[in-house]
Amino acid sequence: MGPTSGLLARVSPGVLRAGPRELGTLTPRGHLTYPGPSFQVRLQVQSVEKPQYRGTLHCFQAIIKQESVLGLYRGLGSPLLGLTFINALVFGVQGNTLRALGRDSPLNQFLAGAAAGAIQCVICCPMELAKTRLQLQEAGPARTYRGPLDCLAQIYRQEGLRGVNRGMVSTLLRETPSFGVYFLTYDVLTRALGCEPGDRLLVPKLLLAGGTSGIASWLSTYPVGVVKSRLQAMGCRARPRYRGIVDCVQQSYADEGWRVFTRGWCPRCCARRPALASTSSPTTC
């Protein structure tokens, strides 16, 4: 049994002989946790001088009132397009890196997860750029983009390849350690909980491990995610506000204090916990 199979054996009695459909349910970080991200982005990038929303509940009510329930799911098409490719990259890179490291240990789980997180940024960054722009554009006939592909095409025509990859460095700074923390936490918890084949409490243990790992991974890099959202949202405005990551951090802190780097955390956390718990269990095919 190779180094990768140690973790897989603790995940499910049948996962070692599972096909792509079963393995796809083991995604470490589901991107389809709507409508949480819709709240998150709007709260993260709103102006401190003229805030549009007073909080999560007010944001929810405003979206429903102005855009109907469909407004909660704006930008969903972008994660849908990229999710399959991201999952393939994450598990391919994580598994091969773990085998190359030669031993299934917590440290190697972190390193393999971090490598997977870094590689998937190639898809994740443009995907989240399109999602952010779609969520922030005006609703109705006046909207700028018709969908994620049209959004990326327009950005490419106006800003070139650099525009399509706006926020890549901040995405790398967020995703690399975050995926490492996820796989490390999941590995430690499944070992500690004794997630072995045949355990009658296997599914509840996996749900607990998956949900807790997801929370830990997002907490570990959440402030970087706020910076990333602000940088990627700049194209929605006539004039770029930030010159880069450091300038964004300095201006955000100067204007709003340290709490700005936790803005939007509540809806994100509420959405991620059940989604990450369920996607960690092989029973949710």
User: How confident is the model over 219-242, as pLDDT tens digits?
Assistant: 899 899 889 988 988 865 556 788
Nearest Cα to Cα of residue 266 among 53, 20, 50: 53
* CA 263/CA 29 separation, integer angstroms: 20
Q: Which helix (H) or strand (E) segment is 217 a member of? A: helix 202-232
Q: What is the mean pLDDT of residues 3-10?
A: 45
Q: How far apart (Å, rounded) are the C-alpha atoms in residues 264 and 111?
A: 28
Rounded to an integer, the average pLDDT of 201-207 is 86
The mean-pLDDT minimum among 114-128, 184-198, 271-285 falls in 271-285
- Joined together, the tokens standing for residue 8 give 């897989």
Least confident of 59-63, 186-190, 191-195, 209-213: 59-63
pLDDT band at 253 (very low <50, low <70, confident <90, very high): very high
Give yes or no for residue 168 having a pLDDT over 90. Answer: yes
How far CA 73 is from CA of 42, 77, 184, 284, in Å, comes to 13, 9, 31, 22
In this predicted structure, the answer to whether residue 14 has a pLDDT above a threshold of 60 is no
Q: What is the mean pLDDT of residues 69-96?
A: 77
Write down the pLDDT at residue 177.
95
pLDDT score of 153 more than 50: yes
Whether pLDDT at 24 is above 50 = no
pLDDT of 260 strictly over 90: no
pLDDT at 141: 73
Average pLDDT over residues 24-31: 44
Q: Which residue has the higher pLDDT, 17 or 260?
A: 260
Average pLDDT over residues 86-99: 90
- Please state, for a pLDDT cut of 70, what percent of the chain lies above it: 67
Average confidence (pLDDT) over 124-139 = 85
Q: Does the pLDDT at position 25 exceed 50?
A: no
Lowest mean pLDDT among 11-25, 116-130, 155-169, 257-271: 11-25
User: What pLDDT is stored for residue 170 in this prediction?
Assistant: 94
Nearest CA among 195, 207, 206 for reference residue 274: 207
- Mean pLDDT in the chain? 76
8: confidence class by pLDDT, cuts 50, 70, 90: very low
Does residue 274 have a cis peptide bond before it, meaning omega lies within 30 degrees of 0?
no
Highest mean pLDDT among 12-26, 93-107, 201-215: 93-107
Q: Which alpha helices (DSSP H) does 46-76 contain, by range?
A: 56-67
What is the distance between the alpha carbons of residues 182 and 6, in angstroms, rounded to a whole number? 17
Whether the pLDDT of residue 7 is over 60: the answer is no
Note the pLDDT of residue 134: 85
Instruction: Strands of 88-234 (E only): list them.
Output: none
